Structure 1
Amino acid sequence: MSTSHIDGSIVFTNISGRDVRFFIKNPYDVIQSHHSRGEFYEPEELGIIKDFFPRGGVFVDIGTNVGNHTLYVCKFLNPRQVITFEPNPDAISLLRTNISLNDLTHLVDLSCLGVGLSDAQGKAFPSIPQNNLGATRMIDSDDVSALPLVRGDDMLQHRRIDFIKMDVEGMEVRALHGLEETIARWRPAMFIEVDERNAGDFDSWVQRNGYISAQRFRRYTENENHMIVPIERAV
């Protein structure tokens, strides 16, 4: 039997009446620095998700990182299930710890970890900026030791989904192309971070697939968050 050990600390906090535990490995990391203060990262974005997520639905967290959004959804939005996608091994170890610390293994499906989503099978290495696991970008590579890239349709295989959150640092349009069968079948609402360089391609994808922008929020100059919904369900 193999065991693993991660050096770090645990922050115990109560947020809006709910007990939350955050595991901190690097207190200087952008997301973990918020957790070390006993708070969620990106509260405005989480608030938008709260307004559009159907309670009791299945939430797909693409680019889960250490679990900030997954923990929030599990604690506050009453999901039936959360399905996590995260390729970066450094983030996965912290994500698993956060899920275990918060007794959420019954709600969170971790079977899709270790792969990145794209429009075709391939390989890529994670490029991780200092003190910012959440800004990890996947760089295409032919190296056999690189991490696998897969189509989301192949991973989900007709599983019901109700909401997609996607934060994949520039891979969003490619990931959307690889999810078109799933999106066409279930027509989920989606909250997606879009790089400025991909804005035109993203807008074209939205129009072509029958979605409209319901809300936008910009935290950083280089990208913008889009809350999109199927046009047939738009108010």
Structure 2
Amino acid sequence: MKALEEAFQDAKRRFVYQPLARSAKLDRYRTVPFDIVVKTFSDHRMAFDPNDFMGRTLMDQGHWQRDDLDWVVERLGSGPRGRVFLDVGAHVGTQSVYALIGGAFDRAIAIEPMTDNIETIRLNALLNDLPITVVPSAAGAEAGRLPFNPDPQNSGGGSLHHSLRGQRGADIEVEVERVDTILDRLAVEPAEIGLVWIDVEGFERQVLAGMPALLEARVPLFIEVLDHLYSPDDFAALKRLLGNYRCAVTRDGSTELQTVRHFSGDILFL
């Protein structure tokens, strides 16, 4: 049995990993100026920085919020819906990869402003042979450029929120586009989007303000709402933007949106 396992591992090295390492498509990533590893999980490969918060979680738990995505897909059911997964604040593309390898969606659009993360999303798409369209910008209410504050301990924790600017070191300027403009450019209709996944560290209201066509179509939204960054006026504006949605659903059940005074955490809006 041991000899069989050794032969199997040798075959993997010879016919999978060595050809992959020699791939011309991957050659340009050999000089990428940041530290990443490529780890093989049960049904996919993932490139990531093992030293930051998300990377350590991936190494420890074997996934990054994949259980949340599985729960959302189960909650959406098998009825007719769009087959495009829209990943806003995509980080290194974990959710886009999970959405596609699970078969719930046919393609993904990943919106991400950080250069290192953008390159890692492209690498993850290549490693898993997945149709992920990468949009190298942030999403917001208006097109332009805004200061973005990276988190040195968490490559997915950077934010455009005004209260965090300059808090964790020097800001950088990033391009900002409206989601509706991005979809128009890609010739993607709201009806083609099956789920919008938003993780933008306090910039949720501005992202939603830039996607009125999707809100009007009531495309399902899964949003990490960081309520501690919201003023009462900001929170009221967020609720108005979500006014067409029936409910806010969490793992604990569902709450009619009209009766919610405040909500926080990871929430599915239908």
TM-score normalised to the size of structure 2? Answer: 0.69
1:204 alignment partner in structure 2: 240
* C-alpha distance in 1 between matches for 2:73 and 2:214: 22
**Corresponding residue to 2:83 among 48, 57, 74:** 57
SS of residue matched to 1:79: coil
Instruction: Structure 1: state its 5+ residue gaps.
Output: 230-235
Whether the 8 Å CA contact 1:27–1:33 is kept in 2: the answer is yes
* C-alpha distance in 1 between matches for 2:178 and 2:245: 21
Deviations 1:162-219 (A, max 9, x none): 21110111111111011012331x3211101111133443233222x344212267xx
Whether the 8 Å CA contact 2:150–2:157 is kept in 1: the answer is yes
Are 1:225 and 2:266 counterparts?
Answer: yes
1:151 alignment partner in structure 2: 178
* C-alpha distance in 2 between matches for 1:172 and 1:216: 20
Matches within 5 A, 1:118-197: 118-138=140-160, 146-157=173-184, 159=189, 160-184=192-216, 186-196=217-227, 197=229
Whether the 8 Å CA contact 1:118–1:151 is kept in 2: the answer is yes
1:39 alignment partner in structure 2: 62
Q: 1:213 to 1:102 in 2, by over 3 A?
A: same
Deviation, 1:125, is 3.2
Q: 1:53 to 1:86 in 2, by over 3 A?
A: farther
* C-alpha distance in 2 between matches for 1:126 and 1:216: 32
Whether the 8 Å CA contact 1:22–1:36 is kept in 2: the answer is no
2:121 alignment partner in structure 1: 95
Whether the 8 Å CA contact 1:63–1:166 is kept in 2: the answer is yes
Question: Is the strand fraction higher in 1 or 2?
Answer: 1
* C-alpha distance in 2 between matches for 1:133 and 1:147: 15
**Corresponding residue to 1:82 among 108, 113, 124:** 108
The alignment covers a number of residue pairs equal to: 210
TM-score normalised to the size of structure 1? Answer: 0.79
Deviation, 1:61, is 0.6
Q: 1:223 to 1:126 in 2, by over 3 A?
A: farther
* C-alpha distance in 2 between matches for 1:211 and 1:84: 26
Whether the 8 Å CA contact 2:73–2:104 is kept in 1: the answer is no
Whether the 8 Å CA contact 2:218–2:245 is kept in 1: the answer is no
CA RMSD, 1 decimal? 2.6
Q: 1:49 to 1:77 in 2, by over 3 A?
A: farther
1:8 alignment partner in structure 2: 36
* C-alpha distance in 2 between matches for 1:86 and 1:132: 15
Deviation, 1:139, is 5.8
Q: Of the two, which has the highest radius of gyration?
A: 2
* C-alpha distance in 2 between matches for 1:31 and 1:49: 20
Instruction: Name the amino acid aligned to 1:225.
Output: D
Whether the 8 Å CA contact 1:216–1:224 is kept in 2: the answer is no
* C-alpha distance in 2 between matches for 1:8 and 1:155: 29
Q: 1:44 to 1:66 in 2, by over 3 A?
A: same
Whether the 8 Å CA contact 1:151–1:179 is kept in 2: the answer is yes
Deviation, 1:64, is 0.6
Deviation, 1:95, is 1.2
2:47 alignment partner in structure 1: 23
* C-alpha distance in 1 between matches for 2:115 and 2:219: 28
